[in-house]
Structure 1
Amino acid sequence: MGVAKSEHARSALFAHQPRTSSYDVIIIGGAMLGSSVAWFLSQNSDFNGSVLVIEKDASYSMCSTAHTNSCMRQQFSTELNIRISQFGADFVRNFQSYMGDDPDIPELAFQTFGYMYLADNQGFADILRANQKIQQTCGAGTKIMSPDAIAEAYPFYKLDDIILGSHNLVDEGYFDGHSLFDWWKRKARKNGVEYIENEVIGIDVEGEKVIGVRLASGEQISAGHIVNASGPRAVLTARMAGLNLPVEPRRRYSFIFDAETRLDRDLPLTIDPSGVHVRSDSVYYLAGCPPDHDTDVDYDDFAMDHDIWIDKAWPAIANRVPAFEAVKLINSWVGHYAYNKLDQNAIIGAHPERPNFMFINGFSGHGLQQSPAMGRAMSELLTYGEYRTLDLSPLGYERVMRNEPLLEKAVI
């Protein structure tokens, strides 16, 4: 992946030991979510504290950020998730402005050919209709399409079994997430955030508060707040503070392929009833899916199961788009979702019993598109002790303690 190579070239710029023995905020994990928090803090004029980001692997080659498909959508079933992604889309579209109109900052590529959810049964069709009404009240451009309307707009689909589709061409598709991540990291460091390549092996607790971390290199560092931005490894970080977190790594497979017969227009990110999704991707096409037996895996297990392509992904996309019966697989990889077993929604905010230990975890595949809103929110919590723009308290850890899921019906 390109991001892994570029980051590896810069990894030598990361020191291994911190400059001082005390920081106002220590962020454990320096990939997309950790760097979002770091950048939003660093540009907040009301925050005057010191920030240390501790990243286990500065090459970023095995993190979820390096294996992302950089998707963006508003087709969620809860208003909160819609609002979160709408800010993400606005941030991507106006990236230069949000980054202070720095002439070095590029525009981010944003391909907005939309998502297409396809329903082959009345139950899911009803869910898509209900979701569309919620999305519409939030200003999203989602439209419910009959099979005839879908066939007119996208004649390459096979639709014999489809009842309806849900499609949105406004701010949905995919974007250049790698550049977003890279510039957040660069600018955070330029603004004074310190990044080191090291590993947290312990978190010190005194009374109800966390007071610091211990590093693999031997240092003990004091902290005013600790932010758990450890991706799929978040549960390991939480356990060091004596806390539990229902987050585990789960494999997700991605495939880049070429087609002998190319489509005459962009293919929306199509969520097939089989669970496979497929979209246009630059000069090729991209497909993805979970395994049929979707369970947790080892943190370092990125082994590819090639039968997934032959037995699941290709048959599904060839059935839905007959032009894909003759394709050539170009590339494939495995990434990890930081999968929240409770409800597949993010967990953000302080732990009620450890008020200075902060979660930003469990995004279950939505982390990249939600990272602008999440970084902004965490910056507000750390600076003001409250959310100032979008209230994310329904995503707090309290629901984990109560075992009360915040149901999101549109999870891929």
Structure 2
Amino acid sequence: MAKQMQIPQHQSYDIVIIGGGIMGSSAAWFLSQDKSFDGRVLVVERDTTYEFASTTHTNSCMRQQFSTRLNVRISQFAADYVKNLREHMGGDERIPQLSIRSFGYMYLADTEAFAQVLRRNQKLQIAEGAATQLMDAAAIKKAYPFYNVDDILLGSINLVDEGYWDGSTVFDWWRRKAQEAGVEYIQNEVVAMSQNEAKNRVETVTLASGEKITCGKVLNASGPRAVRTSQMVGIDMPVEPRKRFSWVFSAEKPLDRDLPLTIDPSGVHVRENGGGTYQCGGHSGFDPAVDYDDFDMDHDIWQDHVWPILATRIPQFDAIKIQSEWVGHYAYNTLDQNAILGPHPIVSNFYFVNGFSGHGLQQSPAMGRGISEIMVHGAYQTLDMSPFHFDRVTANEPIVETAVI
């Protein structure tokens, strides 16, 4: 590690969190607020500038349009949390009042099979209290005249609690308030762990700076590096880094109204960014796992794949100028693109908060709350997150979530 490593203040901690991004910091904050827990917490983060972290490469949007009830409820809590951030964080007047810019997600279906998926999902979402609407091509064209809908059979959109939110502010305040409450953050790296003779508990973590720290529990919040962390205690998990490309561009002819986060049937997505600018994301058809440090941009993807799709779907985007571009990593769960959460069934004091496959930021309030509950109380106190437990990985029983971008 090129950056300066920091040494922990103590030799023993009740909980060591490996990774200080959005998930690790959410967990740290919720742990610090649990009146049943007065233990010592250490957060070990490789790079506290978060230059290459998934947290800082996000689109920072949230949606209610999922196909499983649990994922919908997780997003509903996130929306409430963001809109009432100050109240949720104890009424601290330093914390800003946030809102959600609800331009919605627009799923576009160009086949009857995909249209059926949208219909099925909308029924479930409505049953859970979401405001999802289905729109045929004519209705889409009337509401959003800039779309080319010649090939579109059906659209799905929700204009309530679905759109952009300021994820970086929530992250910053979780980290800041956790530290004020006594959670210790250091820039360092966990490079090894030791277990007891029965191999059912982690006893120590070893840092890159050489210290060996005794720990009561360990939380794997390592993002795309999750499997590297779990392998230190002999656990394989189906999480790998996948490249995701993002572009911000200006249009010569800006749209006359907000652009929903539009998910083209090709998988390319684009949304309103403000001030006549737009943010677009996508990846190549060949989507392998990549090296943890591979953030090289592939300019051919934009020129040969993404821009032609944009200009076809929204003809006003035939004349645009890229303002910035970057590459981030999904912590991609190859089993089912859903979270892996909770304790390991054998290594009982090793916990997961991993594998979010692109919807981690919007799920971070519920995930941080849930993992803190089960680590402190041994059971969930609010929303039952047990379907996300590691048991389904070992049983090869995926959670089928059809609304994955």
Contact kept, 8 Å, 1:248 with 1:338, in 2: the verdict is yes
Q: 1:176 aligns with which of 138, 149, 166?
A: 166
Look up the equivalent residue of 1:383 and give its one-letter code.
Answer: V
Residue 82 (structure 2) pairs with residue 92 (structure 1): yes
Partner residue, 1:24: 14
Look up the equivalent residue of 2:134 and give its one-letter code.
Answer: I
Q: Distance in 2 between matches of 1:43 and 1:387?
A: 15
Look up the equivalent residue of 2:142 and give its one-letter code.
Answer: E
1:112-261 pair list within 5 angstroms: 112-206=102-196, 207=198, 208-261=200-253
Q: Distance in 2 between matches of 1:237 and 1:334?
A: 23
Q: Distance in 2 between matches of 1:170 and 1:342?
A: 31
1:269-284 pair list within 5 angstroms: 269-283=261-275, 284=277
Q: Distance in 2 between matches of 1:301 and 1:110?
A: 32
Q: 2:29 aligns with which of 39, 46, 55?
A: 39
Partner residue, 1:73: 63
Partner residue, 2:38: 48
Deviation by residue 1:24-62 (Cα, 9 ceiling, x = unmatched)? 000000010000000000111121111000001111101
1:340-351 pair list within 5 angstroms: 340-351=333-344
Q: Distance in 2 between matches of 1:174 and 1:204?
A: 42
The alpha carbon displacement at 1:330 in A equals 0.7
Q: Distance in 1 between matches of 2:52 and 2:251?
A: 29
Contact kept, 8 Å, 1:270 with 1:279, in 2: the verdict is yes
Contact kept, 8 Å, 1:209 with 1:356, in 2: the verdict is yes
Q: Distance in 2 between matches of 1:101 and 1:291?
A: 45
Deviation by residue 1:117-163 (Cα, 9 ceiling, x = unmatched)? 00000000000000000101100000111111111111111101000
Deviation by residue 1:283-331 (Cα, 9 ceiling, x = unmatched)? 2101111211011000000000011111111111111111111111111
Residue 320 (structure 2) pairs with residue 327 (structure 1): yes
Q: Distance in 1 between matches of 2:92 and 2:190?
A: 34
Unaligned runs of 5+ in 2: none
Look up the equivalent residue of 2:394 and give its one-letter code.
Answer: M
Query: TM-score when scaled to structure 2?
Result: 0.97
The alpha carbon displacement at 1:211 in A equals 1.0
Q: Distance in 2 between matches of 1:255 and 1:108?
A: 25
Query: TM-score when scaled to structure 1?
Result: 0.96
Look up the equivalent residue of 1:360 and give its one-letter code.
Answer: V
Partner residue, 1:311: 304
Q: Distance in 2 between matches of 1:358 and 1:291?
A: 33
The alpha carbon displacement at 1:110 in A equals 2.1
Residue 331 (structure 2) pairs with residue 338 (structure 1): yes
Look up the equivalent residue of 1:45 and give its one-letter code.
Answer: K
Residue 94 (structure 2) pairs with residue 104 (structure 1): yes
Deviation by residue 1:265-300 (Cα, 9 ceiling, x = unmatched)? 000000001110011012210111121101100000
The alpha carbon displacement at 1:382 in A equals 1.3
Q: CA RMSD in A?
A: 1.0
Partner residue, 2:398: 405
Partner residue, 1:297: 290
Partner residue, 1:382: 375
Q: Distance in 1 between matches of 2:13 and 2:261?
A: 43
Look up the equivalent residue of 1:316 and give its one-letter code.
Answer: I
Look up the equivalent residue of 1:178 and give its one-letter code.
Answer: S
Between 1:183-192 and 1:204-213, the stretch displaced more is: 204-213
Deviation by residue 1:162-187 (Cα, 9 ceiling, x = unmatched)? 00100000100111111111110000
Contact kept, 8 Å, 1:117 with 1:167, in 2: the verdict is yes
The alpha carbon displacement at 1:108 in A equals 2.4
Partner residue, 1:370: 363
Q: Distance in 2 between matches of 1:331 and 1:218?
A: 39
Between 1:287-296 and 1:341-350, the stretch displaced more is: 287-296
Q: Which runs of 4+ in 1 moved over 3 A?
A: none
The alpha carbon displacement at 1:109 in A equals 4.4
Q: Distance in 1 between matches of 2:235 and 2:98?
A: 38
Q: Distance in 2 between matches of 1:291 and 1:358?
A: 33
Look up the equivalent residue of 1:220 and give its one-letter code.
Answer: K
Q: Distance in 2 between matches of 1:287 and 1:58?
A: 27
The alpha carbon displacement at 1:16 in A equals 0.6
Partner residue, 1:5: none
Deviation by residue 1:230-256 (Cα, 9 ceiling, x = unmatched)? 000000000001111110000001010
Q: Distance in 2 between matches of 1:108 and 1:217?
A: 39
Contact kept, 8 Å, 1:108 with 1:180, in 2: the verdict is no
Q: Distance in 2 between matches of 1:109 and 1:171?
A: 9
Q: Distance in 1 between matches of 2:95 and 2:363?
A: 21
Q: Secondary structure at the match of 1:90?
A: helix
Look up the equivalent residue of 2:14 and give its one-letter code.
Answer: D
Unaligned runs of 5+ in 1: 1-10
Q: Secondary structure at the match of 2:281?
A: strand
